[in-house]
A and B are shown apart, each in its own frame.
Chain A
Amino acid sequence: MLRLIKQLQAKGVLGLNARNGAYILPHNPRRLYPLVDDKLRTKQLAITAGVAVPELYGVAETPYQAREILQMLENHSDFVIKPAQGSGGDGILVIVGRTKKGFRSANGTIVTKGEIAFHINNTLSGIFSLGGQPDVALVEYRVKFDTIFEEITYNGVPDIRIIVFYGVPVMAMVRLPTRVSSGKANLHQGAIGVGVDMATGTTLEAVYKNDIIEEHPDTGNPVMGVVIPHWKKLLTIAANSFELTGLPYQGIDIVLDRDLGPLVLELNARPGLGIQIANRTGLGNSLKKVEQHMVELNGLAERVAFAQEHFSI
């Protein structure tokens, strides 16, 4: 067992205690958490900073506004409704089109206007926020994800998670929804995590429920060797997220839209550790390297170049 610990330490693998005790608690000021825990505030921050996000159609803060939103939605045939403080991808309603009776959701069922209003009201009551505190509902643009992931995605939107430390992208993975994860891109819900080479944006092996795999379990297509388009732009957006929120240690989730390019979905002050398994290496060594060179790195381009040079696998 001691040997195992030594080996993991040599690889710089972070455990939860180390992530919390050595990075999150000392580096991330608690007062900044609301900026990332509330998706509405994150979105507003991003918009003012000129970072591309899925367009916000409307916000419902009261049941009355829910009705106004329904009126407004007459102009859109597809959209997404999500709780601002939702966790684990819960409470996200994806509408892909219209029918005579109402709307069609992503999993094929017909949703009436009344059901959408009920969903919004549930969101407002805090049913999807873990603490149960009242929430607001966001209605936004439905991402049409880039065809590059079409072959290796099952019923959902794949996204790219990048861990950023003091503005330096440290590690990245692509999260692919599976049948088990029911379209959600969270690893603990059964999505696949695929490691990414930081220099080129090429996908590596994948991790599915803590096991290494080479093919998508539902589509059977290889997940390795896919080159993510706009990779440098993605890294730049990630690096810029530090300026956005001021949180030194955070994870950023980006989607690739086939028309609009990279869009920032959300930020996370306590990103999970599964990314280490996906990349088959620990975060610790990279984080230490950033701490050593932090003072020399000025500006976005330098930080991105540093990441591409040092964190290539």
Chain B
Amino acid sequence: MSKKHLYILTIFLTLTGAGIFAAKLFVLGLPITPQKKSDLWEIEAHITFKGKGGPVKVSQILAQNQGRFSIVDQAFISPGYGLSTVLEKPNKHIVFSKRKVSGEQNLYYRLTVLDKGLKKTKKKRDVPIIDPVDWQGARLVAAQAILDAAVANSADSQTLVSSVIKLLDSKEYSSHVSVLYGKNGTLESKAEVVAGILSLAKLPARSVHGIDLRHSNYQPSFSHWLEIYDNEMWQPYSLTTGQSTELENHFPWWRGPMPFVQINGGKKLVTKLSVSWGEESAILSVRKASDTLEKALLNISFLSLPLDVQQVYRVMVVAPLGAILLVFLRNVIGIGTFGTFMPVLMAMSFRETELLWGILLFTIIISISLVVRIYFESLKLMVVPRLSALLIVVIMVMAGLSILGHKLDMGGGLSVALFPMVILTMTVERISILWDERGPAQAIKHGIGSLAVASICYVAMTQDQVEHLLFVFPELLLILLAFTLLLGRYTGYRLMELVRFRALAK
């Protein structure tokens, strides 16, 4: 195979990639930089369950316009299901129904939410009617006791709320609390309990369930908080601090003790949420696309995929950039690393752990496991059992670090679970072989090389601009492929070899 062939291939790949990129840029007008000033969010609820072969009815609560948040668009993906909406104050439900359902089912509900900003609109509201809680016996007594104590050290409704929350968290009332919560003390049940106690004091209160929009591009779970009718307005209160602030970026979805989704005739119900901070013009242009060329171009993008799949690809599309950097650092610079893709995989897990934590945890795991591996060496174990034993040790070290990190209240410790354990095991094995065969200096040099490459890949892969470009314009991967192929035929010196052979240049 001649070099000419390779050059033609790379030119073809580059032109194709650049062509599609240009078309999307100029025809569709997709933005080339991440849109910082955007107030749009795409929220998606993905409901999965297993049908039992009979009729199924799934009732899910719909989001509604909420003061500063307005719903620009909503859509359902529910092949073969009949849809109907049911109003159940204060919430609105959508009911998906189908006569015969078996096997795994997927329902999607996607909505686009616009944040209009903080405008205090003093619209006249219905006077809230809160049904009194039907607590009896021990529960009522416990609730009343907490309420009395709270009333005793509060001045107004604001301080009453925070003192009820404080009392629920205090040790003093733990037996009362366990009576009120029942078995599972989730934040959701806490919301109902607080609302119930406050309604005993004739203070209109309700639980609210929604999404914290502060972190974009992640898979959140529902947040729960409280609303108190005070000063002719519903005021949000945090369930952990009892304060009315810091809930500004929370999008309220529904209110009251109802669960988000209920099912009749199915099992194994799972709800997965995903939130993505909208790239406004990108999303809008998806909606605008009308003629065939535009539609065809849009097919070469991730924007039409379900949100949770989109999020997977957001991470995945930057990996090729890490790979090409790895090729460059190994074959052109000449940095020695352990394993071919180990540094890229490490860089990807550094995304979760943050760089410094990642390097620290990586070093700790490798060091401890290496000590054990050196001990294993003296046991003269056969290869496969030795690797399996090492894998067990690596997992135990990871688990130990997570538990220790949690106990010491260091968030970084927990994220160690995201390290690729098999890759770590192979790395320990390779380090120890290198250690034996070429001495500690070489092994440590390679170890530092791997970490350096992982760090460089991490920095490159976490640039917003990079992620945006590769995600919105995945055709750029063709250009990356072309470069990688070219690097595959690079036969010049590696930078490190210039050092190695410098004595020969005379």
Query: How many angstroms from the CA of A212 to the CA of B503 in the assembled complex?
Result: 9
Query: A118 to B380, Cβ gap below 8 A?
Result: yes
Query: A210 to B503, Cβ gap below 8 A?
Result: yes
Check B127 for interface membership: any CB of A closer than 8 A: no
Give the A interface residue count (CB, 8 A). 34
Tell me the interface secondary structure of chain B in the complex.
helix
Chain B residue contacts of A189, Cβ below 8 A = 437-438
Query: B492 to A18, Cβ gap below 8 A?
Result: yes
Check A81 for interface membership: any CB of B closer than 8 A: no
Give A7-34 as 1s and 0s: 1 = Cβ < 8 Å from B's Cβ atoms: 1100101011110111000000000000
Query: How many angstroms from the CA of A127 to the CA of B386 in the assembled complex?
Result: 10
Interface residues of B in 280-323 (CB under 8 A from A): none
Contact of A16 among B437, B494, B503 (CB under 8 A): B494
Query: How many angstroms from the CA of A188 to the CA of B380 in the assembled complex?
Result: 25
Query: How many angstroms from the CA of A15 to the CA of B497 in the assembled complex?
Result: 7
Given that A5-B493, A17-B331, A21-B489 are contacting pairs, would A11 and B380 also be in contact in the complex, using a CB cutoff of 8 Å?
no
Query: How many angstroms from the CA of A15 to the CA of B501 in the assembled complex?
Result: 9
Query: A8 to B437, Cβ gap below 8 A?
Result: no
Check A122 for interface membership: any CB of B closer than 8 A: yes
Query: How many angstroms from the CA of A88 to the CA of B439 in the assembled complex?
Result: 13
Interface residues of B in 488-506 (CB under 8 A from A): 489-494, 497-498, 500-506
Give B461-490 as 1s and 0s: 1 = Cβ < 8 Å from A's Cβ atoms: 000000000000000000000000000011
Check A276 for interface membership: any CB of B closer than 8 A: yes
Check B384 for interface membership: any CB of A closer than 8 A: yes
Give B377-406 as 1s and 0s: 1 = Cβ < 8 Å from A's Cβ atoms: 000101110010000000000000000000
Interface residues of B in 325-339 (CB under 8 A from A): 331, 334
Query: A8 to B380, Cβ gap below 8 A?
Result: no
Bin chain B's interface residue count. Answer: 20 to 34
Query: B383 to A277, Cβ gap below 8 A?
Result: no
Query: B498 to A21, Cβ gap below 8 A?
Result: no
Output the nearest chain A residue to B332 by Cβ-Cβ distance: A17
Give A105-147 as 1s and 0s: 1 = Cβ < 8 Å from B's Cβ atoms: 0000000000000100010011100101000000000000000
Query: A4 to B502, Cβ gap below 8 A?
Result: yes
Query: B505 to A4, Cβ gap below 8 A?
Result: yes
Query: How many angstroms from the CA of A281 to the CA of B504 in the assembled complex?
Result: 6
Chain B residue contacts of A126, Cβ below 8 A = 382-383
Chain B residue contacts of A17, Cβ below 8 A = 331, 490-494
Contact of A15 among B387, B492, B502 (CB under 8 A): B492
Check A243 for interface membership: any CB of B closer than 8 A: no
Residues in chain A within 8 A of chain B (CB atoms): 1, 4-5, 7-8, 11, 13, 15-18, 20-22, 88, 90, 118, 122, 125-127, 130, 132, 188-190, 210-212, 276-277, 280-282
Residues in chain B within 8 A of chain A (CB atoms): 331, 334, 380, 382-384, 387, 433, 436-439, 489-494, 497-498, 500-506
